[in-house]
A and B are shown apart, each in its own frame.
Chain A
């Protein structure tokens, strides 16, 4: 009964490819997030959705496009992958502005 799950856990791909990471939460929360953790472990917010509506959109290349089919799912699609996109991507969810609960992360490696 995983609270916030992400697939895949590992993703290895070539430069220029397009890939997606999926996130699902079963906590009944209505707000979901994507964070990026770089090689130095620094965490930075990318996006946030509330009930399928985009709330937070940080300075992220437009090659990154979040999609929320319903309030329990928030997927991240990345076009034309670059070496600098290699990182660990974390999904999180919260009940509005309350505590955020994180998924296990997806380690993306771009070769």
Chain B
């Protein structure tokens, strides 16, 4: 069965500093990988996804992630964090099941941004 590990429960960075959120996955085949962001009291918004091709993917809000098969990782990065980036970030792996896809989420990383 697939699984996702986000080792950092809580990260604090200063506004303007760079950010890297870690994600490791376990999946038998080529994974479909996602990063979602959840602001307080809100739903989940897709930041970016990897299905195939270029292993460096660009997303919204200046985020990017790199798929590294050898390390089973899909880390999220941003060169300069803004205060509005404070939120909960979830990494997920998708497992296709016929005409649906089952997402398995990590436990999330809460990002706090100090001014």
- Of B38, B44, B97, which is within 8 A of A55 by CB? B97
Residue in A closest to B44 when the chains form the complex, CB atoms: A102
If A41-B107, A99-B49 touch, does A90 touch B98 (CB 8 Å cutoff)? Answer: no
Query: Does B17 make an interface contact (CB < 8 A)?
Result: no
- Determine chain A's interface SS by DSSP, over half rule: strand
Bound Cα distance A105, B41 (Å): 8
* Those of A64-97 within 8 Å (CB) of chain B: 90, 94, 96-97
Residue in B closest to A94 when the chains form the complex, CB atoms: B101
Which of chain A's residues have a CB closer than 8 A to the CB of B103?
A: 35, 43, 45, 100
Q: Is the CB of A103 within 8 A of B43?
A: yes
Q: Is the CB of A105 within 8 A of B99?
A: no
Q: Is the CB of A55 within 8 A of B98?
A: yes
Q: Is the CB of A50 within 8 A of B42?
A: no
Q: Shortest CB–CB separation between residue B99 and chain A, in angstroms?
A: 4
Q: Please tell me the size bucket of the interface on A.
A: 20 to 34
Q: Is the CB of B107 within 8 A of A42?
A: yes
If A90-B43, A90-B44 touch, does A100 touch B101 (CB 8 Å cutoff)? Answer: yes
Residue in B closest to A51 when the chains form the complex, CB atoms: B99
Q: Is the CB of A50 within 8 A of B101?
A: no
Which of chain A's residues have a CB closer than 8 A to the CB of B67?
A: none
Which of chain A's residues have a CB closer than 8 A to the CB of B101?
A: 31, 94, 96-98, 100
Bound Cα distance A90, B94 (Å): 17
Residues of A within 8 A of B (CB): 4, 30-31, 33, 35, 40-45, 48-51, 53, 55-56, 90, 94, 96-105
